[in-house]
Amino acid sequence: MATEAYCVKCKAKREMKDAKQVQMKNGKPATEGTCPVCGTKMFRIGAG
């Protein structure tokens, strides 16, 4: 599952490494992972 998200440190869209589905406090789905280049935590709201 290759999910793209914006890395705020690299300032570019990249595919997440170790992406996993999580649920936010308000109950909505999100995806959490790390940037393969710099290792910063990445977050994308929404299922998929």
Beta strands in 1-48 (DSSP E): 4-7, 12-15, 17-23, 29-34, 41-45
Residue 16 DSSP one-character state: P
Q: How many CB atoms lie within 10 A of CB 32?
A: 17
pLDDT for res 1: 55
Instruction: State pLDDT tens for residues 11-34.
Output: 999 999 999 999 999 999 999 999
- pTM reported for the whole predicted model: 0.81
Q: How many CB atoms lie within 10 A of CB 36?
A: 14
